[in-house]
Structure formats: structure tokens, C-alpha cells
Amino acid sequence: GESVGLHLPTLSVQEGDNSIINCAYSNSASDYFIWYKQESGKGPQFIIDIRSNMDKRQGQRVTVLLNKTVKHLSLQIAATQPGDSAVYFCAENFSGGYNKLIFGAGTRLAVHP
């Protein structure tokens, strides 16, 4: 596969377990946040987003939690499947002049059978 994320932090989980991927963001003025999933050799794929006036948002098998006090974002994946193996990026949207996405370095999720 492509060498995206050679030195990224890795989270290893067993198939069927729940996964929690964490992200620290940088700007208190960011107004919403996005999680992306990137499989090897592919472009990032939108998973879920959350506005800064919310603490929690749920999607299909995924939940995003936002803690503005400590500028922390997490992505929870329920009943993790082998197809969830990928690199996950958080991105914060900073509306400083134009909408700019600032991406984190990413976390690799490895799901073992």
C-alpha cells in the first residue's frame, strides 16, 4: 500500500471491540470539526462533523465528542470491523477570513481478527 502515515500513532483493536480515537485541536475560535478516514492509497473520506455549539453527535456506528474546555475531540467507533482499518484525521474549521481546514497528523487504526 501507499506510505501514508509511516510514523503515525497506532491504535490496535480486536474486531468487535469499540475504538476511541483522540485529537487535540489548536484554535479556540474554530467553529466546527470534521473527522476523515483515509484508506491506503486513497483520498480522505468524510465520516462525521460537529459544530462547536454541540458536545456530541452520533452517526451510524460512530460518535464524535467535543470538549471545548480542553480543546479535545474524539471519534468513537462501535463494534469495530476490519474495514475500519485506516488512518483517521480530525480537522478544525477556522473562519479567519475564509474557511480553512487545519488537519491533525492522523492516527492509524489497525483492526485484528
Partner 1 sequence: DGGITQSPKYLFRKEGQNVTLSCEQNLNHDAMYWYRQDPGQGLRLIYYSQIVNDFQKGDIAEGYSVSREKKESFPLTVTSAQKNPTAFYLCASSIGGLLAKNIQYFGAGTRLSVL
**Residues making contact with partner 1 (CB under 8 A):** 2-8, 32, 34, 36, 41-46, 49, 89, 93, 95, 98-101, 103-106
Cell 483522540, located at residue = 22
Residue 5 Cβ, how far from partner 1 at the closest point, in Å? Answer: 6
Phi, psi for residue 40 in degrees, rounded to 5 = -55, 125
Q: Closest by alpha carbon to 30, among 59, 73, 60? A: 73
Residue 27 Cβ, how far from partner 1 at the closest point, in Å? Answer: 14
DSSP string, 33-62: EEEEEE-TTS--EEEEEEETT-SEEE-SSE
Name which of 33 and 84 has its Cβ closer to partner 1: 33
Name which of 13 and 39 has its Cβ closer to partner 1: 39
Residue 111 Cβ, how far from partner 1 at the closest point, in Å? Answer: 21
